[in-house]
Amino acid sequence: DTEVTQTPKHLVMGMTNKKSLKCEQHMGHRAMYWYKQKAKKPPELMFVYSYEKLSINESVPSRFSPECPNSSLLNLHLHALQPEDSALYLCASSQVRTSGRAINEQFFGPGTRLTVL
Amino acid sequence: AQKITQTQPGMFVQEKEAVTLDCTYDTSDQSYGLFWYKQPSSGEMIFLIYQGSYDEQNATEGRYSLNFQKARKSANLVISASQLGDSAMYFCAMREGLYGGFKTIFGAGTRLFVKA
């Protein structure tokens, strides 16, 4: 299995709703990432988990709450979002290399297109 | 600070011809990795090719090759024999450090259009 899956594919939510995005991989990767991508822009890193521990938080507002319940799953909990949070949210995973030729490419999921009304 | 520059917002190429997508980078690190990703309209980012800063030979993966010129800090992607399915957004990206680094920054991207 060489894919990253994300659910849902599309999500429309109001500013008072609480929702969650889910990401799953079964490649044995121990690093997982959340990116936000606005239209016609490159992805922007939000969070990185390494061995199920939060490794990087790129000063993301607290209305986004990540969770890594196990080595295969990554969630992004959403609460009280703003319309400007509408974007494509991409999940990715990679090996964690500490020696050898560290290609360390990230495998991306298809993304969740989020619309906040 | 790291920076990736892709100066071509859009490129056109005739089917079956080769095309070069430009990428320049800036970093003060000696160890770094350079990546190219393809993003079709469906949204998924697809890894294409990797070049490590200490790799002496240019990377190749099928129809993709990376023209790595370290002194010029450029890492251009060459696609040979373009196909209609190559129409997509292409991102150049860099990760500082060769081992265990997680932070990858992306260039603004180049939209490639392949004409029949």
- The pLDDT value recorded for residue A102 is 55
Give the minimum alpha-carbon distance from A14 to chain B in angstroms, rounded to a whole number: 23
pLDDT tens string A52-90: 999 888 999 999 999 999 999 999 999 999 999 999 999
Q: What rounded mean pLDDT belongs to chain B?
A: 93
Res B102 pLDDT > 90: no
Sorting pLDDT into bands at 50, 70 and 90, what band is B36?
A: very high
Query: Does residue B56 carry a pLDDT above 90?
Result: no
pLDDT of residue A103: 65
Residue A96 pLDDT more than 60?
A: yes
CA A92 to each of CA A14, A112, B1, B31, B74: distance values in angstroms, whole numbers, following the listed order = 26, 12, 24, 23, 26
Q: pLDDT band for position A35 (50/70/90)?
A: very high
Residue A41: its pLDDT value, please? 95
pLDDT of residue B84: 97
The answer to whether the beta carbons of residues A57 and A47 sit under 8 Å apart is yes
Range B57-80 average pLDDT: 96
List the single best residue of A103, A112, A114 to mutate versus B (max B Cβ within 10 A).
Answer: A103
Return the closest-CA partner of residue B97 out of B37, B47, B27, B46. Answer: B27
Residues of A in contact with B98 (CB under 8 A): 102
**Residue B104 to residue A106, Cβ atoms within 8 A:** yes
Interface test with B, best of A106, A107, A113 (most B CBs within 10 A): A106
Determine the pLDDT at residue B103.
85
Contact B46 A101 (CB under 8 A): no
Per-residue pLDDT, A2: 64
Residues of B whose CB is below 8 A from A53 = none
Stronger pLDDT, A99 or B77, i.e. the higher one? B77
pLDDT at B106: 95
User: A27 touching B, CB under 8 A?
Assistant: no
Residue of B45, B98, B106 lying closest to A102 (CB–CB): B98
Kindly state the average pLDDT of the residues A103-112. Answer: 88
- What integer is the mean pLDDT of B35-40? 96
Q: A98, B99: Cβ pair inside 8 Å?
A: yes
pLDDT band, very low/low/confident/very high, at A95 (cuts 50, 70, 90): confident
Residue A45: pLDDT above 90? yes
- Gyration radius of chain A's alpha carbons: 14
Confirm if B84 and B114 have CB atoms less than 8 A apart. Answer: yes
pLDDT of residue B28: 87
Looking at residue A101, its pLDDT comes to 56
Helix, strand, coil percent content, chain A, rounded in steps of 5 = 5, 55, 45
